[in-house]
Structure 1
Amino acid sequence: MILYDYFRSSAAYRVRIALNLKGVAYERREIMLLEDQQRSPEHLARNPQGLVPALEADGVVLTQSLAIIDWLDARFPEPRLIPADGQARAAALAQAMVIGMDVHPLNNLRVMRRLKAMGVEEDARNDWTRHWIAQGFAALEAMAGEGRFLGGDAPGIADLFLIPQMFNARRFDTPLDAFPRLVAIDAAASALPAFAAAHPDAVAPK
């Protein structure tokens, strides 16, 4: 199994956590986004969007982090990351999508480069990033359950989306005092080996 990855990609970070939680062995191949390797003909043949992650498994290439994690849940059922129960599944996916659909897409490299090309200065771009993170985190703080993690007492799909975004929040100096539940969940997850081994600092190119 080969993961086409970038160490600071939030979407790829989610998949690394999932693979680690499930104990699946995989080989990482770094796609250097700042060098535009994602736009190479070789990578576009894998993923026409020119994004990471892409997971090569069972003779096919899978793309989009949520789709990859859903496939991993079907292929390696334990521990389950997306609940089977319909109501619990909807709640978990709604939490994950706060990050995956409403926060992260507004702050990724493509958007930052476009804002720069439009003449938006770095301070304003960073403020843009903090704004959308804080808005999403405010919703997630209200949506968080009573357990150690977003969906209960074991990490699930929503936590795989939250923890990489917490990393980004700190990179951009986003104030976190208003989100004590999210900070506590991040601390609980970060103490687990599967999350720690997926952290960008643990996989960064040497």
Structure 2
Amino acid sequence: MSESLLLYSYWRSSAAYRVRIGLNLKGLACTTVPVHLVQDGGQQHTAAYRQINPQELVPTLKHGQRQLTQSLAILEYLDEVWPTPPLLPATARERQRVRALAQLVACDIHPLNNLRVLQYFEHEWSLPALEREQWVKHWIMDGFAALEAMLAGHPSTGDYCEGNVPSLADCCVVPQVYNARRFGITMADYPTIERIEQTCLQLPAFDAARPENQPDAPR
């Protein structure tokens, strides 16, 4: 398919980070359209962006005339349209495990410490910054404890979350580790997660997707 790809993204959004990794692994050229989630009250809340994504979230991937939302759905779309190299493994059992690991991050950890949740705590409940940070740390560490148990010593865990090829799961885990470090969480308690993250970041596809390497990152 020859239509251009536009990614509406924010440099520090972990959901957008996942999609950047997937695009890079596929070797797909993509133009980034920055959407600043804090500036001007949050550019994702403008009427213009609401027409693109009614949820007022990033990322949105525009492929030709199609506007695609939800990071996991976008990654699976990429895998179906550009199947090589795959983000999902060959067998049903392996695919289930990869999806379970990805969803542990994207559905169970990330939504609880997303920007809009923290802003609600701040603006509606006047929750102090320290208590907001404690909330974030609790749910990341709770999720990481389960993720570490699912990865450590499992016969399917290899260089990456599933075997020796990066997958949808790695696209989710690496950004969540970035978030954990942002909030001062030490990775010493999660050695398998950290090993996989460090292995991933040695690949150009992951390195180029880092938040600090994005065009809208602060300089």
TM-score (normalizing by structure 2)? 0.92
Which AA in structure 1 matches 2:197?
A: D
Q: Which residue is equivalent to 1:136?
A: 143
117, 123, 126: which is aligned to 2:130? 123
Q: State the shift of 1:84 in Å.
A: 4.1
> Distance between the aligned counterparts of 2:165 and 2:16, measured in 1?
21
* Percent of matched pairs sharing the same residue: 44
Give 3-state SS (helix, strand or coil) of 2:54's partner. coil
1:80-159 correspondence to structure 2 within 5 Å: 80-117=86-123, 118-144=125-151, 145=154, 146-159=157-170
1:172 aligns with 2:165: no
**Which runs of structure 1 show a deviation greater than 2 angstroms over 4 or more consecutive aligned residues?**
none
Which AA in structure 1 matches 2:104?
A: V
> Distance between the aligned counterparts of 2:167 and 2:30, measured in 1?
20
Which AA in structure 2 matches 1:115?
A: F
Q: State the shift of 1:142 in Å.
A: 1.1
* Matched positions, count: 206
Q: State the shift of 1:85 in Å.
A: 2.0
| Structure 2: gaps of 5 or more residues | none
Q: Which residue is equivalent to 1:21?
A: 25
Q: Closer, same or farther in 2 for the Cα pair 1:75/1:205, shift >3 Å?
A: farther
Q: Which residue is equivalent to 1:46?
A: 52
> Distance between the aligned counterparts of 1:183 and 1:131, measured in 2?
18
Q: State the shift of 1:17 in Å.
A: 0.3
> Distance between the aligned counterparts of 1:15 and 1:80, measured in 2?
14
TM-score (normalizing by structure 1)? 0.97
Q: Which residue is equivalent to 1:63?
A: 69
7, 11, 30: which is aligned to 1:7? 11
1:190 aligns with 2:201: yes
> Distance between the aligned counterparts of 1:196 and 1:89, measured in 2?
25
> Distance between the aligned counterparts of 2:131 and 2:203, measured in 1?
35
| Structure 1: gaps of 5 or more residues | none
> Distance between the aligned counterparts of 1:68 and 1:136, measured in 2?
23
Give 3-state SS (helix, strand or coil) of 1:25's partner. coil
Greater displacement, 100-109 / 137-146 = 137-146
Q: State the shift of 1:205 in Å.
A: 4.5
Q: Which residue is equivalent to 1:31?
A: 35
Give 3-state SS (helix, strand or coil) of 1:147's partner. coil
